[in-house]
Chain A
Amino acid sequence: MILKFLSIINFKNHENTSLKFDENINCIVGPNGVGKTNLLDSIHYLSFSKSYFNSIESFNIKEKENYFMIKGEFFNQEKQELDINCSYTNKKKVLKFNNKKYDKLSNHIGKIPLIIITPIDSNLINGSGEIRRKFIDKFLSQIDSSYLESLLFYNKTLNQRNALLKNSHNTNDYIDLLNTYDDSLAEFGTQIFNKRRDYISSIIKTVKKYYNIISNDREDIDVEYYSELQNNSFKNLLKENLQKDLVLQFTSSGIHRDDFIFKMKETNIKKTGSQGQQKSFLISLKLANFDLLYTKTNEKPILLLDDVFDKLDDNRVEQIMTILNSDNFGQIFITDTSFNRINSVMSTAKISCKYFLYNFNGTYHEKT
């Protein structure tokens, strides 16, 4: 997928920006606060119909304005044009695909395959299990709509079961109804478990491959999927924990308690990894997702790299550029604060790219 042309009005700190992009590598360079990351976020918005950073829509509107609009002209491998237009006014979001309005925004997910890597991703390592589950759920929903369906159904059932545990203890049919919910939880939960397990086992090789390239085989990494379902069937699990659930008044076991553990040298990378190592790991993980997304959609995803070289040594930066220079990757957007750094990175790797050089006052000029 290639983004040819982007127009942003009143999105975050962009008042009116129109940019024509190169089919290969685009570098957005400028000092802090000129809107480099927001530019990437607007591209993310066109793919997911939401911001990567802000879930509150009104924060995405430029100060003192009452709407924003993002428009992108894409074309895919078959050279078909895809126009995407997204606007937000009066708390209403309208998303148009080739000038046709979507009834459901979720139908758009997956149309523009995209992977984003940003410094905020360090939450995946340092944050709670919920953040990791959300990350993996979001990715799997992008390649498999039935995954999203099962997940929504599971969560609804879980809420009903928890409400039942909390409220109505003494009705006669209490246990019968609990069993009914258990059966649906088991059915959908097992589907989700299988898909998460398959996903981890299918990307683990690629994550390791990329990490070995970036680190020059210096460290061993691993991803482990932790779920109570690994040693027990969901139905059994619910049965065994019934007494506990009755006391706690919520469902204490299931795939909503799953976690993914990122390991380096056999221990959690959260404890042993340096910032640079953690960052290398996250880049490898995201690039592995990139490969999987490419295979599933048969369309090269767009890759957004926000401040990707920060915290990494020259060696690792060079290795990352070798990876990105391969045929596997298509259009890439990179932001950086220093022209000298990125220019030397690009010339060492012998990569030609288009630069958008921003000044302090928000104006820019292009350079190739």
Chain B
Amino acid sequence: MNFSSSIIKNVVEAISNFPGIGQKTALRLVIYLLRNKKNAYKISNTIKELVDKINYCSICFNITEFKYCEICQDPKRDKHTICIVEDISDIMAIENTMQYKGQYHVLGGLISPIDGIGPSNLNIEPLINKLSNGNIKEVIFALCASMEGETTNYYIFKKIKHIGCEITTISKGISIGSELEYADQITLGRALINRYSFENTLKE
């Protein structure tokens, strides 16, 4: 693409670094910013604030403005249960269910040598240290049900099983409100193998 000014070119190139945004969309955004200068300042300030002030919780690697995140600071939350998730967006998803009252640990990705991600690139060491200090009764794996997710689960499991806390994983199966005939065979097969006592469903 040809740009009339090198400044525009630089901005377009910077914006097109965003995931899902190409050069054309980037140019549209740049033109919008030029026409709405007030908004542009507001956006640039908020981005600066974001980069300067947001950091990662030193306990669970969630995002926070302080040293510890809100969840880790909350005295009402159960300090003996840790839920392991891939990313911050997973915390938000689980928080929205209002079903979980424990703490989290964000890995920051999944093990995948093809993409150049090994265990040392993830927050696995801090997790092991945290567990070794005792006090944790249960660890819940809440990673995605892909091959990479399973590998990461299994890798961590082998690293922490000697510590002696209970290790569980979220269940996989039929989504609520859906019809059996539309479930794919693999999911349905797994759901059958991992069936559980009906009495447990009555408690809720």
Residue A350 at the chain B interface, CB threshold 8 Å: no
Judged by a CB distance under 8 angstroms, whether A163 is at the interface is yes
Instruction: With both chains docked as a complex, state the minimum distance between the C-beta of A241 and any C-beta of chain B, in angstroms.
Output: 18
Residue from B111, B148, B189 in contact with A177 in the complex, judged by beta carbons closer than 8 Å: B111
Q: Does B40 contact A (CB under 8 A)?
A: no
B80-130 residues at the A interface, CB under 8 angstroms: 111-114, 116, 118-120
B154 within 8 A of A: yes
Q: Is B184 an interface residue (CB 8 A)?
A: yes
With CB as the reference atom, state the residue of chain B lying closest to A174: B118
Q: A130-184: which residues lie under 8 A (CB-CB) from chain B?
A: 145-146, 149, 153, 156-157, 159-161, 163-164, 167-168, 171-174, 176-177, 179-181, 183-184
The answer to whether B159 has its CB under 8 Å from any CB of chain A is yes
Residues of B within 8 A of A160 (CB): 112-114, 147-148, 151
Instruction: Assess the A156–B147 pair: CB atoms within 8 A.
Output: yes
**Chain B CB within 8 A of A341 CB:** no
Closest chain A residue, CB of each to CB of B152: A180
A157 partner residues in chain B, CB cutoff 8 A: 147, 151
A181 touches B119 (CB 8 A): no
Return chain A residues, CB-CB under 8 Å to B185: 107, 145
The complex places the Cα of A171 from the Cα of B120 at a distance, in Å, of 7
The answer to whether A177 touches B155, judged by C-beta atoms less than 8 angstroms apart, is yes
A167 and B113 in contact, given A160-B151, A180-B155 (Cβ under 8 angstroms): yes
On chain B, the residues within 8 Å of A176 by CB distance are: 119, 155, 158-159
Task: Give the docked Cα–Cα distance between A174 and B111 (Å).
Answer: 12
Contact A180 B158, beta carbon cutoff 8 Å: yes
| Known contacts A160-B112, A184-B154; A177 and B184 CB within 8 A of each other | no
- Whether B7 sits at the interface, judged by CB under 8 Å, is no
B18 CB → nearest A CB, Å: 27
Q: At the interface, yes or no: B70 with Cβ under 8 Å from chain A?
A: no
Q: Which residues of A contact B114 (CB under 8 A)?
A: 159-160, 163
- Per-residue CB contact flags for chain A residues 292-325 toward chain B (1 = under 8 Å, else 0) read 0000000000000000000000000000000000
- The A contact surface, by secondary structure, is helix
A:177-195 near B, CB below 8 Å = 177, 179-181, 183-184
Contact indicator B151/A180 (Cβ below 8 Å): yes
Is A271 part of the contact surface with B, judged by Cβ < 8 Å?
no
Chain A: interface residue count, which band?
A: 20 to 34
Interface residues of B in 156-188 (CB under 8 A from A): 158-159, 184-186
A177-B154 contact given A156-B147, A160-B112, CB 8 Å threshold:
no
Roughly how many angstroms separate A8 CA and B186 CA in the complex, as a whole number?
34
Q: Do residues B159 and A177 form an inter-chain contact, with CB atoms below 8 A?
A: no
Out of B111, B159, B184, which one reaches A107, CB within 8 Å?
B184
> Residue B150 at the A interface, CB < 8 A?
yes
CB <8 Å contact, B119 and A171: yes
Which residue in B119, B151, B159 is a CB contact (below 8 Å) of A184? Answer: B151
Establish whether residues B116 and A168, one from each chain, have CB atoms under 8 Å apart when the complex forms.
yes
State whether the Cβ of A91 lies closer than 8 Å to any Cβ in chain B: no
Chain B, residues 58-94, CB within 8 Å of chain A (1/0): the string is 0000000000000000000000000000000000000
Measured between beta carbons, the chain A residues less than 8 angstroms from B151 are 157, 160, 180-181, 184
Question: What residues of chain A lie closer than 8 Å to B112, measured between beta carbons?
Answer: 160
Of chain A, the residue at the smallest CB distance from B146 is A156
How far in angstroms is the closest Cβ of chain A from B39? Answer: 39
**In the complex, per-residue mask of B32-71: 1 if CB is within 8 Å of any chain A CB, else 0:** 0000000000000000000000000000000000000000
| A104 contacts chain B at the CB level, 8 A cutoff | yes
Cβ contact of B119, chosen from A107, A145, A153, A173, cutoff 8 A: A173
Given A146-B189, A157-B147, A171-B120: A164 and B184 within 8 A (CB)?
no
Contacts of A104 in B (CB 8 A): 184
A161 nearest CB across to chain B (Å): 8
* CB-CB nearest in chain A for B185: A145
A173–B125 Cα distance when bound, in Å, is 11
Residue with the highest number of chain B CB atoms closer than 10 Å, among A146, A168, A172: A168
Distance in angstroms from B49 CB to nearest chain A CB is 36
Task: Choose among A107, A153, A177 the residue that contacts B118 (Cβ–Cβ < 8 A).
Answer: A177
Roughly how many angstroms separate A176 CA and B150 CA in the complex, as a whole number?
Answer: 15
| A 220-275 contacts with B by CB, 8 A | none
Q: Which residues of B contact A163 (CB under 8 A)?
A: 113-114
Q: Closest CB of chain B to A202's CB: distance in Å?
A: 22
Residues of A in contact with B (beta carbons under 8 Å apart): 104, 107, 145-146, 149, 153, 156-157, 159-161, 163-164, 167-168, 171-174, 176-177, 179-181, 183-184
Pick 20 A–B contacts, CB within 8 A, sort by A: A107-B185, A146-B189, A157-B147, A160-B113, A160-B147, A161-B113, A164-B113, A167-B116, A168-B113, A168-B116, A172-B120, A173-B120, A176-B159, A177-B118, A180-B154, A180-B158, A181-B151, A183-B154, A184-B150, A184-B151
* 12 additional A-B residue pairs with CB within 8 Å, beyond A171-B119, A180-B155, A184-B154: A107-B185, A145-B186, A146-B186, A146-B189, A157-B147, A161-B113, A164-B118, A167-B113, A168-B116, A173-B118, A173-B119, A173-B120
- Of all A-B residue pairs in the complex, the 9 with the closest CB atoms, nearest first, are A164-B113, A163-B113, A173-B119, A163-B114, A180-B155, A156-B147, A171-B120, A171-B118, A168-B118
